[in-house]
Structure 1
């Protein structure tokens, strides 16, 4: 049986995102069940952020890529994994080097090396979106 793990992360640390993270984890578990894979572990990240620094579950997943614990990482979408371009390429490099696969359940497909250009562009856009959102939130807090 194919061994899979799930990685889930919320967009922000706001209280309303707690339910979204619970739903995201349930969706990921359902995806693994539907595809008849064995769920080996869950990496549920309640901390938001544009980079991987301080995200313990991500760091644990990144480290576990080096082990023979699973074959597939299941995520909702690329931006749930990270919104930093450099971190994206570092992750994909380790994923591919270690012979693992990445399944994006919203798109119902596996990441492929042919996707490197478009996923790189998505990573750049997600990173910029995150910076812009942060500026808006910080400005709103200052004006209150």
Structure 2
């Protein structure tokens, strides 16, 4: 049965593959699912993907719109020889927009870390009771 998902070939280094195998066994998930989760988390941490909604963030939408506008603007530049194109690679990311997106992802991350910390405190309390 055909699927809408595209297959991506990924052959990790041996040490990375061992980590993926270990995570796969610990979580009872396939290697493919583990890799998908890791990719989503990496994109989320970079502020490029919102895990809650499974949608592209505003940065990616803006980049797509900018690339469409680029082709229209390039025609005007070719017609006018007095303009020169700056070929330096520069990051034109809006810092305010990025901070907002990263803040939302950091809140998810902070909540996750907080839950792990509470679990650790419960474990520590159990160990103290066991030792006494």
Specify if TM > 0.5.
Answer: no
TM range (shorter): 0.3 to 0.5
Q: Which has the higher helix share?
A: 2
Q: Which has the higher contact order (CA 8 A, sep 6+)?
A: 1
Q: Which has the higher strand share?
A: 1
What TM-score results when the alignment is normalised by the length of structure 1?
Answer: 0.33
